[in-house]
DNA sequence: ATAATAGTGTCTTTCAGACAGTATAGT
DNA sequence: ACTATACTGTCTGAAAGACACTATTAT
């Protein structure tokens, strides 16, 4: 086994939704999905952008390690975290064999005010955009293989990065199995581009049947703001009337309004923790 | 840091569905969900039952490690595998810090004929039963905490084991977060009882919207057999007419019949790899 | 008054659940 | 003839999608 000891790390894909002002005073601010990345100070991938994370300590479990490393590198605490996927390709870290247990994290704007670049690490929020480059289907044996190649584009004020990811899927006589490869990337360390894309995919699929979106919302919000967040993540527009009908049971009305917007004020809502009980 | 190197392993929860004969010649055979366990020859947990698995080698990725260890310990190849969850509680292995990346695996009866106890390991198929012991909800802060305690019972011809698992869920102002603890167990090594229970939960939730069930079916099957597998995993009975309507687009008719069953013969079907395309 | 958003009513289609009913080999 | 399963038709109500409509305030 003469190799160096394999090491186990955690890495966190932290998403948030931010507003950006619109030119017209009447228009609502638009929304963007952002992910937090840190500039690496050391080799390998020096000066490239990487997910917050680090090595797991002896006396903590994986969830704790993710929360701790996030706190150490960004000052953020009490962030929603859920395990995403564990990546262990042999060559993913050029130094030594490293298995990374990754987490999906969500934060709202209020939580981010505590953010501070601790320990001198440079952190940046990048807007996230995904676009489909190619989609193909090839017959193979008794079934077929599908491949979707997409481009993840990350943009910050003074930096840019991208990754091209190919998600494959073989469907045979018994069902489907999937795989994923990083075709190309620029500005991103390790396989982190692929991890971000997978995190986005997870977020996209879970938002439809869970309350995940509310981790991205402030304490009080308008239904339009909520809808914007859904549209942002799903990447398509929703019809207002239908959206409100579907989310009505997850929110509680407050008697406050959002005023001074240059148009009719919108009622503020809050998340209803008890929504599932009302389902039956 | 003076600790021994943390090691990374893979462990696989392999499920299958088997038939057992019925007393009455006319009755259809019943079905059972089974999981594969190996008797440990060494300390720790000597003589207890454990999931197939082992240490990840330097030049393989995690999927390969899962497939290899399964092959080495059981002789089984070409089994469906998907990553389940990564477990890393500090004390889960009394020897040294061990992080286990676990896999959910599914096999049908035909694939299992290749099974052989390689390397002298004793493997057994245990029937799996889960029952809810307690369910509670406690108000806590602005939200509440829910706990479900369930018992997993594993039965083989000449062995028995169980585990009591508590799945917690805290729902606060922003949404929910979950945790899971092994309360008690007997006959099972490490935290493997909890892993099996989590695998079952994953299977139960994915079977409703994916084609996962077909990995448990033979090449050709009757719709009643398919329904039995769904009922087995979901733990409740389904109405035949509705079940057939919902699964109709995932199967193709063949022109063969299952005969000599003491009653009307049933048409045999096969999985339709192209079912998703027909959805729109 | 007007621009821009806030919010509602309702038609249609689709789909899940329930259940009653008919069909057919094997003994 | 009888048993156990195979398989179908259809009613109901809930929910998703589409879209037209009304309401309100800052400027």
| Max Cα–Cα distance, chain B, nearest Å | 70
Q: What's residue A3's pLDDT? A: 47
Q: Can you give the pLDDT of all 280 residues of chain B as single tens digits?
A: 434 578 999 999 999 999 987 667 878 889 999 999 999 999 999 999 999 999 999 999 999 999 999 999 999 999 999 999 999 999 999 999 999 999 999 999 999 987 765 556 778 999 999 999 999 999 998 899 999 999 999 999 999 999 999 999 999 998 899 999 999 999 999 999 999 999 999 999 999 999 999 999 999 999 999 999 999 999 999 999 999 999 999 999 999 999 988 899 999 999 999 999 876 6
Using a CB-CB cut-off of 8 Å, the residues of chain B touching A210 are 175-176
Mutate to test the interface with B, among A112, A171, A175 (most CBs of B within 10 A): A175
How many Å apart are B280 CA and C14 C1'? 12
| End-to-end Cα, chain A, rounded Å | 56
Q: Rounded CA gap, A244 and A227, in Å? A: 8
Helix (H, G, I), strand (E, B) or coil at B139: strand
How many Å apart are B239 CA and D1 C1'? 29
- What is the interface size between A and B, counted as CB pairs within 8 Å? 122
Using a CB-CB cut-off of 8 Å, the residues of chain B touching A212 are 175
Q: What's residue B248's pLDDT? A: 97
Shortest CA distance from A272: residue in chain B: B173
Q: Rounded CA gap, B280 and B263, in Å? A: 38
Question: Cβ distance B266 to B259 under 8 Å?
Answer: no
A250, burial (CB in 10 Å: exposed 0-12, middle 13-18, buried 19+)? buried
Do B143 and A273 lie within an 8 Å CB cutoff? Answer: yes
Using a CB-CB cut-off of 8 Å, the residues of chain A touching B67 are none
Nearest Cα neighbor of B231 from B220, B216, B219, B249 is B216
Element (H, E) at A10: strand A7-20
A254 alpha carbon, distance to own chain's centre = 29
Q: Tell me the shortest Cα–Cα distance from B159 to chain A, in angstroms.
A: 31
Residues near chain D strand, CB within 7 A: A 25, 239-242, 245-246, 259-265; B 22, 24, 26-28, 222-224, 240-241, 244-245, 258, 261-267
Q: Rounded CA gap, B85 and B197, in Å? A: 12
Q: Can you give the pLDDT of all 280 residues of chain A as single tens digits?
A: 444 578 999 999 999 999 987 768 888 899 999 999 999 999 999 999 999 999 999 999 999 999 999 999 999 999 999 999 999 999 999 999 999 999 999 999 999 987 765 566 778 999 999 999 999 999 998 899 999 999 999 999 999 999 999 999 999 998 899 999 999 999 999 999 999 999 999 999 999 999 999 999 999 999 999 999 999 999 999 999 999 999 999 999 999 999 988 899 999 999 999 999 876 5
Question: Cβ distance B161 to B152 under 8 Å?
Answer: no
Residues 6 or more apart from A258 whose CB is under 8 A from it? Answer: A222, A265, A266, A267, A268
Do A215 and B175 lie within an 8 Å CB cutoff? Answer: yes
Task: Compute CA distances B226 → A202, A203, A204, B127, whole Å.
Answer: 29, 31, 30, 18
Q: Rounded CA gap, A104 and A224, in Å? A: 25
What single-letter DSSP state applies at residue B4? P
Do B274 and A144 lie within an 8 Å CB cutoff? Answer: yes
Q: What's residue B251's pLDDT? A: 97
Q: Rounded CA gap, A47 and A134, in Å? A: 30
Residue burial B189-226, b: 16+ Cβ < 10 Å; e: rest: bbbbbbbbbbbbbbbeeebeeebbbbbbbeeebbbebb
Helix (H, G, I), strand (E, B) or coil at A107: coil
- Say what the pTM is: 0.95
Long-range contacts of A251-255 (CB under 8 A, 24+ apart): A251/A223, A251/A226, A251/A275, A254/A220
Residue A50 pairs with which residues in a beta bridge?
A38
Q: Would an 8 Å CB–CB cutoff place B7 in contact with chain A? A: yes
Residue B164 pairs with which residues in a beta bridge?
B151, B184
How many alpha carbons lie under 13 Å from residue B107 in its C-beta half-sphere?
24
What single-letter DSSP state applies at residue B210? S
């Amino acid at each position: 086994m003469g190799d160096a000891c394999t090491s186990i790390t955690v890495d966190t894909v932290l998403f948030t939704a931010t507003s950006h002002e619109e030119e017209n005073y009447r228009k609502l601010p638009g929304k963007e999905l952002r992910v937090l990345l840190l500039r690496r100070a050391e080799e390998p991938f020096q000066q490239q952008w990487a997910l917050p994370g680090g090595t797991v300590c002896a006396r903590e479990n994986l969830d704790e390690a993710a929360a701790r490393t996030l706190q150490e590198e960004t000052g953020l605490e009490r962030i929603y975290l859920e395990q995403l996927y564990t990546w262990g390709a042999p060559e993913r870290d050029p130094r030594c064999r490293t298995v990374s247990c990754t987490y999906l994290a969500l934060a709202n704007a209020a939580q981010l005010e505590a953010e501070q670049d601790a320990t001198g690490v440079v952190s940046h929020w990048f807007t996230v955009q995904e676009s489909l480059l190619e989609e193909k289907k090839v017959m193979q044996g008794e079934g077929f293989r599908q491949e979707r190649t997409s481009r993840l584009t990350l943009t910050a004020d003074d930096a840019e990065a991208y990754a091209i990811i190919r998600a494959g899927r073989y469907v045979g006589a018994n069902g489907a199995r999937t795989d994923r490869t990083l075709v190309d990337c620029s500005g991103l360390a390790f396989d982190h581009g692929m991890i971000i894309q997978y995190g986005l995919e997870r977020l996209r699929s879970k938002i439809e049947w869970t309350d995940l979106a509310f981790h991205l919302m402030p304490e009080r919000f308008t239904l339009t703001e909520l809808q914007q967040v859904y549209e942002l993540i799903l990447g398509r527009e929703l019809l207002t009337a239908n959206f409100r009908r579907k989310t009505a049971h997850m929110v509680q009305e407050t008697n406050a309004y959002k005023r001074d917007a240059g148009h009719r004020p919108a009622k503020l809502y809050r998340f209803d923790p008890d929504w599932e009980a009302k389902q039956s």
